[in-house]
Structure 1
Amino acid sequence: MNKKQFYPIPCGQTLPQNNIHAVSTSMPNLQDVIDYEEQTPEILEKITVAYPRFIVHPYLKKLANYLKQKYSVGDEYELILLSSQKAIKVVSNRYFIHNKFEFNEPFGVIKVVKGRQYQKVLKFIQHVGYNLSSRLAEDYLYKVGIINKIHIEELEDKNKAKNIVIETLGSAYKQPVENICLNPSGMNSIYCALKGIKNIQARNGRTILVQLGWLYLDTTNIVEHYFEESKVFHDVTNIDEFEEFLKKDGLKVSAIVTEIPTNPLLQTVDLERLKKLCNSYNIPIIVDSTFATPYNLDLNPFADIYVESLTKFACGNADVLMGAIILNKDSKISHISNEFFKYADEPYIKDIQRMALEIKDYKIRVKKISQNSLKLASYLENAPFIDKVFYCLSPDFKENYEKLMIDDNSLCGIISVTFKKDFQKVYDSLNFAKGPSLGTEFTLLMPYTYLAHYDLITSQNGREFLEKIKLPIELLRISVGTENIEDIIGEFEKINNI
């Protein structure tokens, strides 16, 4: 059955391969993942390009070194490059950084002390997503002669690019283009939306931000670390607990933030009940729709604000970092869009040009992935080596998800599984691309808990917490690609021989 379409990709190779602007990197063995999390010198020599919010891109490192010389910055400092001057204010205000001189550059530059301060600021930028574009850094380095070539790629006309991206999203979400704002990353979209909510609702004494469900790690970090008051409900099935909380503090809640479905267990909250509760207390709902995509689910009756990581399914090729905020025109808060958009940075023009080219296939890509996902989930549910399958039509969440589907072929392109066989042997044996990110046209595997929550795996308290929230340590998240489904299934068939 297997036509040998899949082959091992060496550790540290970019995903997609041979692309300096890739947002993922190959980690073909579980030990590679462990070494990466423990930052061993050997792995850092191999992995130089990875998800840009987690590892500083090599072009940004080169540019920072060039600027240190240009501005005669002492060795006791490091330069951190940001998407704009606006981003400088956000970061500086957080860490009380006040540079003694101006960096005359068309992007953000801050000077921080080496060591602990540098690492703290990098972590903050990881969470809030004000990353400088690798394409901008590339153009700058080429112009000053530090590098001698530009990555060759197809780009949309710069005069048409932004309109193509915005209009495609407007059509998909059924929202006017003025209600859509692009950001330099998906996490920046979330941060800007939450920051806007905080400013608006604080005037009304609404200061508690509620996270519903176990969400992506950086969303959780923003909620817990950068908002003075927050409440987290890990179990999206327990709306009763949430309702009891509202009876006491409902008028203090600024917003609900959730994912539809959640990452990585693909759980869908009962949005109808949630919306009724939120209406009773006039609470807006912010939905991360990255997994669902607007081509799978109609969330307009429920979401006040959408945030989407365009890096995923909208891009499809894992080579652009970008996000979007979409305000629902039917929401009571849509008329105050400036509060949500004023913290946003315009992505670099070449990123928009690349995204404009790729987003044209967004709908076709999602529909093909949905078809493959339905067939793969059916296969995995009956495979003898599978322990449990988590997907959006899992029995516990099927009813909630089905209510939202646009058509019968609207399966989210993510499936998570646990195995009856040795996890490391299974992971190492599969020849799909393996690394962070999702939504790619090529099938992409990720040992989710190892990469997202390694700190919890390595402590007794952490492991107990993972057990409490029912997040398996040995969980494989599958981002289903557009390849021939028989070839995808054929690769998984290899597990029978382990």
Structure 2
Amino acid sequence: MLQALGGTVPPNTDHAISVSLPTWKSNVGYEEGQDWVLSRMECGYPRFYVHPLIQSLGQEILRRSGNTELEAATLFPSLRTAELCRDFIVARIPPGETSKLRIVSYAPSSKAASDIRSNVTSKLFCVIYPKALAPIAKQVWQHSGDGISSRRSEFCSNALQDGYLVEDTSAGADGKPSIFSKGPRRYQQRAPTPREPDHGSKTVESSDGREYSEFVEERFGRNLSTTLANNAKRAVRRRIAGSLTANVDLHEALESEAASGRIAGLTEEDVFLYPGGMSSIFNTHRTLLNTRGSLKSICFGFPYTDTLKILEKWGPGCLFYGHGSSEDLDDLESRLEQGERFLALFTEFPGNPLLKSPDLKRISELGKKYDFFVVVDETIGNFINVNVLPHADVVVSSLSKIFSGDSNVMGGSAVLNPQSRHYHTLKTRFVADYEDNLWAEDAVFLERNSRDFIARIEKINATTEFITEILKSSPLVKDVYYPKYSPTRPFYEACCHSTGGNYGGLFSVTFHSTEDAIAFFDALEIMKGPSLGTNFTLSCPYTLLAHYGEADWASSFNVPFDLIRVSVGLEEPEDLGNRFKHALDAIKQNSA
């Protein structure tokens, strides 16, 4: 049975990162903000839809430190991420309005601070602004991917309620909040017994005298500590480096000898983790600007929407080559020969949603000759199928996708190429700029989910070829976009680890009319919602969701409005194939 409209995807998952939009009409309703859709949504993709747990925490922060009627709050894990949001808003409003913005920080109380050596803790930074500015703040939340996760929010809400997280009213000599604060005097007093109910801004410490360690155990279980979280991150970094390929538990993963990575000299120390894939792109771009200065970048090929927005809205802008063709590279080379210079070229391998692959070899050669960085997003290709690192200075990826698979946690990574001539410069700058904002519990889920990702990818590769062959052979289908069938297939296979079968789990399909596309989508008996790389097959009308307000612009780059994107999961091929055949039959019935 399909998941009902607005339900979590996967079902019964508190921290799901996709939401059920099971019909074409419900996707349109979501894009148009229609109440019959939005009122039923239990969650949404985290950068586009603020999780109810985060919404609730934001309201509590406003109740304590702001005005719930007039103001809104956006929540971040660090002062720097909050300042980036504040600065983005300030740059877009009249100077006289800037005084209405402020950053309020919350820090562990003295009770929590005394026990942080062995237990997880969290600070919280809240950008508070007039409600009218919410659309501007939302851009930062969406594009940067640096907002707090739903699990961190849940922890902070509980810590706030129990008096372990308090508003930080002190400041250091630099005027910034101190790392830890004892908080206002009222938070230091022992609570009455029995515990008073919370009737306003007053917060009390736990009346039963519990230690912070007991609080953490109650929220997470006995085993979650900073040590476990750090070990989980280390194991994830080793998997990404390619030096850990066995499906083993965390203890074995950390004790096993590291084999060679996916490129000579690559180690886990060259892998940087972020709270989401877009965060890895945003922070890589920010770090490159800090390294080289204010130069335009290049966005090569039709990208996932937020990559282009990042390059356009932060820094001096970008040169966009939406077709990602050889002719585009000719034009770029001509510009470079005439003296134009750029910071970096960002590209996806392959692209989303047309699954076209750029000529990475030529791009890499141009980068070396004309001294710009090459950044490749390998999320769709994934490093088990392809190895793009030899052609890049930095490789970024969304770990929320196939690396995790379970659609219940966000994460991202940036990997430095140790063979790059820029390696030492970049390594020094990345280490200096890096903030570890990946929440402890999210890291634990990423590690657990990713233990079998190699076996999952192998099965998904085979099933996707099987499904695309069914669609490719049907006269009802107009086009199937898949690396195997793409005119850029040679560029893709040049980076493959093997000679065949490594084409990935994502494809797009179009039909001869929008009516046919709607009939197919509505009849397709699989999960439907945003995201990709899930362990279950997931589909969405991609252009409708990603470019609803700019369909003509997308069409100018040959991205059809009625394109349907499919991410194949672990279902049995024959069963899944029958579902696709049934959806094709619905087109016939609709046309009869």
Deviation of 1:121 (Å): 0.7
Deviation of 1:109 (Å): 0.8
Deviations 1:274-333 (A, max 9, x none): 222222112221000101111001112201101100000111011111111111111122
Partner of 2:205: none
Structure possessing the higher relative contact order (Cα contacts under 8 Å, 6 or more residues apart):
1
Contact 2:536–2:570 (8 Å) recurs in 1: yes
Partner of 2:308: 220
Partner of 2:234: 163
Q: How much identity, in percent, do the aligned residues show? A: 28
Q: Does 1:108 align with 2:125?
A: yes
Q: Does 1:292 align with 2:381?
A: yes
Partner of 1:307: 396
| C-alpha separation in 2, matches of 1:253 and 1:92 | 27
Partner of 2:116: none
| C-alpha separation in 2, matches of 1:369 and 1:150 | 35
Deviation of 1:343 (Å): 4.9
Deviation of 1:402 (Å): 1.1
Q: Does 1:246 align with 2:336?
A: yes
Taking the TM superposition and a 5 Å limit, the aligned residue runs for 1:347-358 are 347-358=438-449
Tell me: CA distance 1:79–1:409, structure 2 relative to 1, closer, same or farther (3 Å): same
Alignment counterpart, residue 506 of structure 2, candidates 414, 424, 444: 414
Partner of 1:4: none
| C-alpha separation in 2, matches of 1:74 and 1:420 | 50
Farther off after superposition, 223-232 or 330-339:
330-339
Provide the aligned C-alpha RMSD in A: 2.2
Q: Does 1:267 align with 2:338?
A: no
| C-alpha separation in 1, matches of 2:374 and 2:151 | 34
Contact 1:207–1:254 (8 Å) recurs in 2: yes
Q: TM-score, normalised by structure 1?
A: 0.91
Contact 1:365–1:482 (8 Å) recurs in 2: yes
Deviation of 1:72 (Å): 4.8
Query: Tell me, which stretches of 5 or more residues in structure 1 are unaligned?
Result: 1-6, 458-462
Deviation of 1:100 (Å): 5.4
| C-alpha separation in 1, matches of 2:416 and 2:230 | 25
Name the SS of the counterpart of 1:104 in structure 2.
strand
Farther off after superposition, 170-179 or 220-229:
170-179
| C-alpha separation in 2, matches of 1:338 and 1:58 | 39
Contact 1:86–1:343 (8 Å) recurs in 2: no
Q: Does 1:177 align with 2:275?
A: no
Deviation of 1:395 (Å): 4.1
| C-alpha separation in 2, matches of 1:307 and 1:195 | 13
* Aligned positions, number: 479
Tell me: CA distance 1:103–1:273, structure 2 relative to 1, closer, same or farther (3 Å): closer
Taking the TM superposition and a 5 Å limit, the aligned residue runs for 1:339-354 are 339-340=429-430, 342-354=433-445
Deviations 1:194-224 (A, max 9, x none): 111112222xxx7120110110000011112
| C-alpha separation in 2, matches of 1:234 and 1:14 | 33
Q: Does 1:469 align with 2:557?
A: yes
Tell me: CA distance 1:151–1:454, structure 2 relative to 1, closer, same or farther (3 Å): farther
| C-alpha separation in 2, matches of 1:196 and 1:29 | 41
Alignment counterpart, residue 525 of structure 2, candidates 431, 435, 439: 431
- Kindly report structure 1 stretches of 4+ aligned residues shifted beyond 6 Å: 149-152
Name the SS of the counterpart of 2:571 in structure 1.
coil
Contact 1:380–1:389 (8 Å) recurs in 2: yes
What amino acid is aligned across from residue 8 of structure 1 in structure 2?
Answer: L
Query: Tell me, which stretches of 5 or more residues in structure 2 are unaligned?
Result: 91-97, 108-122, 163-197, 199-217, 244-261, 587-592
Q: Does 1:334 align with 2:420?
A: no
Deviation of 1:74 (Å): 5.5
Deviation of 1:20 (Å): 1.5
| C-alpha separation in 2, matches of 1:376 and 1:189 | 32
Q: Does 1:131 align with 2:222?
A: no
Q: TM-score, normalised by structure 2?
A: 0.77
Partner of 2:204: none
Taking the TM superposition and a 5 Å limit, the aligned residue runs for 1:373-388 are 373-388=464-479
Deviations 1:401-437 (A, max 9, x none): 1111101221121110002361111111111100100
Partner of 2:456: 365
Farther off after superposition, 484-493 or 376-385:
376-385
Contact 1:86–1:345 (8 Å) recurs in 2: no
| C-alpha separation in 2, matches of 1:161 and 1:428 | 40
Name the SS of the counterpart of 2:566 in structure 1.
strand
| C-alpha separation in 2, matches of 1:122 and 1:448 | 21
| C-alpha separation in 1, matches of 2:156 and 2:367 | 48
Name the SS of the counterpart of 1:160 in structure 2.
helix
Partner of 2:33: 39
Name the SS of the counterpart of 1:306 in structure 2.
strand
Tell me: CA distance 1:74–1:23, structure 2 relative to 1, closer, same or farther (3 Å): closer
Deviation of 1:83 (Å): 2.3
Tell me: CA distance 1:120–1:18, structure 2 relative to 1, closer, same or farther (3 Å): same
Deviations 1:361-411 (A, max 9, x none): 121111111111222222221123211010112241111111111012211
Name the SS of the counterpart of 2:238 in structure 1.
helix
Name the SS of the counterpart of 1:360 in structure 2.
helix
Deviation of 1:103 (Å): 2.5
Tell me: CA distance 1:178–1:338, structure 2 relative to 1, closer, same or farther (3 Å): same
Contact 1:155–1:354 (8 Å) recurs in 2: no
Farther off after superposition, 82-91 or 259-268:
82-91
The structure with more radius of gyration: 2
Contact 1:189–1:344 (8 Å) recurs in 2: no
Q: Does 1:20 align with 2:14?
A: yes
| C-alpha separation in 1, matches of 2:270 and 2:103 | 37
Name the SS of the counterpart of 2:350 in structure 1.
coil
Name the SS of the counterpart of 2:390 in structure 1.
coil
